[in-house]
Structure 1
Amino acid sequence: MATDFYEALGVAETASTEEIQRAYRKLARRLHPDVNSDPGAEERFREVSEAYQVLFDPEQRKKYDRFGADFRRVPDDFDERAYAGAGGRGGGRVRRTRAGPGSGGGSESFEGFDGFEGVDIEDLLGGFFRSRGAGGPIAGADQEAELELTVEEAYRGGRRHLGIAGAGERGYDVDIPAGVLDGQRIRLAGQGGRASGDAAPGDLYLVVRIKPHPRYRLSGRDLTVELPVSPWEAALGATVPVVTPGGEVKVRVVPGSSTGRRLRLRGEGLPNPRGKPGDLYAEVRVMVPKKLGKRERELFEELAAVSDFDPRRT
C-alpha cells in the first residue's frame, strides 16, 4: 500500500465518519480531474477516493484497522473467534503499524499477538490471502456542486441544460422542481466520481443556492416584497398591483396604512409540490412626490392647516 488511508485524507485514526466525509469533500473539490489539470492530480484523486470508500464504510474500516494493507484479502466469512483461538489463548489484538526505517520499506506489520507464541501469522492467514485478489472494483464517490438560481427560477422550476461550476466542463440536463428551496439537493444519478472496474459511479448532488434578489426577500417558502404607495392611497385605502414571481396580482391597501405594514397574500410565495405553498407579504412603503405642482402644494398646505395629526406623538 503506497499510502496510509488516514494519511491520504489527512485525518486521525480516531476521526469520525463526519470528519472523514468533510476531509474527502474538501480534497475532491481540489483534485477532481475535471477541475485540476495537474499531472499528479488524477492519481491523487483516485488515492483519496479509495481511502474515503474504505474508511467511510464501517465494516471495511474495521477490516482495514485490523489487517492494514492486506484487509481486502481477508474473506468476508473470516471467523475472528477461530482466528483468535488458533494460538490456544485467544484475545490477541492485531495492531496495524507502519514499518520504520530499516525494516524493509513501507510494508505493514502485525503486533500484539501475545496469544500466538510460535505461530507464524503469514502462515496462519496465507491460505486466505493467496486465494483472494489484491483488490477489486471501487465504486465512485458522491460529489457536490452548487447550483445558483434566481427566485423566479426557483419558483417556476423546469428542465434546463446547465454547466455546473466546480463540476468541470460537462453539461447536465436537470429537472428543477418548482418551489425548490435554498440548500435543497438535486440528485443526478451516476454523474459523480468515476469508478474503477465495473463498479458503479457515484452520484452528483446539486446544492441549490438562491441568489439575492433586488425585489424579493426569501424566508423558507415565504416571500416579502416592498409595496410603494402614495400618501393618499395609504390614508384612504386603495387596491394596487403587486408583482410576484408568478405574475401581477392585486392587493387591498387598508386605510390608514403606514410604512412597514405587511399585507399577506396567501399562497403567492414559492409553490410546494408536497403541501401548502408559501405566502407573499407586501410591505407598505409610503412615498411622496419629489416635486410638487402648484395645485398639489396648495392641497398639501390646506391639509397641513386643517389636520391635527402628529406622527411623532401617535
Structure 2
Amino acid sequence: MADDLYAALGVPRTASEAEIKKAYRRIAKTDHPDLTDDPAAQERFKAASAAYDLLKDPEQRARYDRGEIDSQGQERPQRRYYRDFSEAQGNPYRGKPSYGDFSDVFADLFGEGAAQGGRSGFGAGWQGAGRGGAQSFDMRGQDHRYTLEVDFLTAARGGTTRITLPDGNVLDVAIPAGTRDGQTIRLRGKGAPGMGGGAPGDALLSVTVADDPDWRREGEDIITVLPISLSEAVLGSRVEAETLDGPVMLTVPAGASSGRKLRLRGRGLAGPGGRRGDQYVELRIVLPPQVDDELSRLIRDWSAAHPYDPRAGRGKRS
C-alpha cells in the first residue's frame, strides 16, 4: 500500500478531481491484473486503486491532506500519555495508580463504539475468561474499498463481471440492472479477516460506468444513436433499432433530419417503484462511402430547383 496516494497515481497534490480520475484510468488500462501477469504492474494497480478510492471522495481527501487519516483511510491515533488518563481519573501521579475501567481508553483509541461495548471496536468482543482467567477480544475485520469499471450496457441491463482482487482471489460480481456511476456494491465477508472470533469485513466496490459512443444516460432515460441512410431520411422507412430488451422495428418518418429524437416509452432504466424511463433514439444521417456522379448530379439539379437555407434565423439578435 503506497504511503503517498498522490505519488501512487502520479499526480501532484493540487490535482483536480478530473485529473485524478484520468490518472487512475490510465493506470488501470495497462496494469490491471486481468491485462498483465507482471507482478510490478499489478502492485502499481493495487496502489493506484486504493489511492483513487480515497481521493475521489472530497471529504476523505480533505481529511487525508490534513493528516487526520492515513493512506488506508484509517484514523491516525492521537498521542496520549499516562498523565492524561491519570488526571482524567482524578489521580495526577499521586498514590497508587487506579486502572479502573478500560472503556475510556478504548473510546479514545477506537471510538465511542468500543467504550460502549458496541458491535465494532475492541469493546465489542472484550471477554473475561472468569476470575483470574485470561482475557481476549473479538473484532470485525476492516472493509476494503476497490474501484470497478463496467461498460455501459452491463450497467444498464445488469449482468456479471469477473474481477481479480489484489490478494489474487477471483470473484464473479453481480451488477444490478440500472447501476449508476459512483454506486457502491457490497461484497459481504470479502474484506480483511476479523480478529479473535470477529467476522471478516466487506469489500466495497465503487462502480465507474465507462462511456459508450452510442449510448448515454439522463436520469432514468437513455439516448441511443441510430444511423440512417440518405434515402431512409428522405423517404421514410422501417428500420431496426437496438434497445436494452433487444432489437425493435422503428418507423423513421419521411423528411427526418439528423438529431431528431424518436421516443420509445418504457424502454429506459428502472426507477423508483420499478417504473422504467424512456428511450430516445437520435437519428444520424450517414452518406454513402463514396458520392458518385449520379448522386452529385441529382442533388445539384434538385437544389437548383428547390433552394432553401437550413441556417436561416441562426445568429440573429432582436
TM-score after normalising by structure 1: 0.58
**Residue aligning to 1:163:** 163
**Residue aligning to 2:190:** 191
1:229, 1:286 within 8 Å by CA — same for their partners in 2?
Answer: yes
Structure 1 residues 269 and 126, CA gap change in structure 2 (3 angstroms): closer
How much does 1:197 deviate?
Answer: 0.5
1:259, 1:284 within 8 Å by CA — same for their partners in 2?
Answer: yes
Instruction: Provide, for residues 176-213 of structure 1, a one-character-per-residue CA deviation record: whole Å limited to 9, x for no partner.
Output: 22222222222211111221110111111222211122
Three-state SS of the structure 2 residue aligned to 1:223 is strand
Question: What is the alpha-carbon distance in structure 2 between the residues aligned to residue 25 and residue 194 of structure 1?
Answer: 21
**Residue aligning to 1:262:** 261
Question: What is the alpha-carbon distance in structure 2 between the residues aligned to residue 199 and residue 21 of structure 1?
Answer: 31
What's the % identity of the aligned pairs? 33
2:191, 2:200 within 8 Å by CA — same for their partners in 1?
Answer: yes
Are 1:141 and 2:142 an aligned pair? yes
2:163, 2:173 within 8 Å by CA — same for their partners in 1?
Answer: no
Taking the TM superposition and a 5 Å limit, the aligned residue runs for 1:229-244 are 229-244=228-243
Question: What is the alpha-carbon distance in structure 1 between the residues aligned to residue 69 and residue 102 of structure 2?
Answer: 38
TM-score after normalising by structure 2: 0.57
Question: What is the alpha-carbon distance in structure 1 between the residues aligned to residue 206 and residue 93 of structure 2?
Answer: 57
Q: What is the letter of the counterpart of residue 145 of structure 1?
A: Y
Are 1:122 and 2:97 an aligned pair? yes
Question: What is the alpha-carbon distance in structure 2 between the residues aligned to residue 176 and residue 184 of structure 1?
Answer: 10
Give the unaligned 5+ runs of structure 1. Answer: 1-17, 30-47, 56-64, 66-95, 99-106
Structure 1 residues 190 and 290, CA gap change in structure 2 (3 angstroms): closer
Structure 1 residues 116 and 207, CA gap change in structure 2 (3 angstroms): closer
Q: What is the letter of the counterpart of residue 146 of structure 1?
A: T
> In structure 1, which of residues 10, 27, 44 is the aligned counterpart of residue 71 of structure 2?
27
Three-state SS of the structure 1 residue aligned to 2:277 is coil
Taking the TM superposition and a 5 Å limit, the aligned residue runs for 1:95-106 are 97-98=80-81
- RMSD in angstroms over aligned alpha carbons? 3.9
**Residue aligning to 1:10:** none
Instruction: Provide, for residues 10-52 of structure 1, a one-character-per-residue CA deviation record: whole Å limited to 9, x for no partner.
Output: xxxxxxxx659965986338xxxxxxxxxxxxxxxxxx5xx68
1:155, 1:271 within 8 Å by CA — same for their partners in 2?
Answer: no
**Residue aligning to 1:202:** 201
Give the unaligned 5+ runs of structure 2. Answer: 1-58, 106-130, 314-318
1:193, 1:202 within 8 Å by CA — same for their partners in 2?
Answer: yes
How much does 1:127 deviate?
Answer: 11
Give 4+ residue runs of structure 1 displaced > 6 Å after superposition.
126-135
**Residue aligning to 1:33:** none
Instruction: Provide, for residues 137-163 of structure 1, a one-character-per-residue CA deviation record: whole Å limited to 9, x for no partner.
Output: 221112221222112222332345x22
The count of aligned residue pairs is 226
Q: Flag the structure with larger Rg.
A: 1
Question: What is the alpha-carbon distance in structure 2 between the residues aligned to residue 126 and residue 268 of structure 1?
Answer: 62
The structure showing larger relative contact order (alpha-carbon pairs under 8 Å, at least 6 residues apart) is 1
Q: What is the letter of the counterpart of residue 71 of structure 2?
A: L
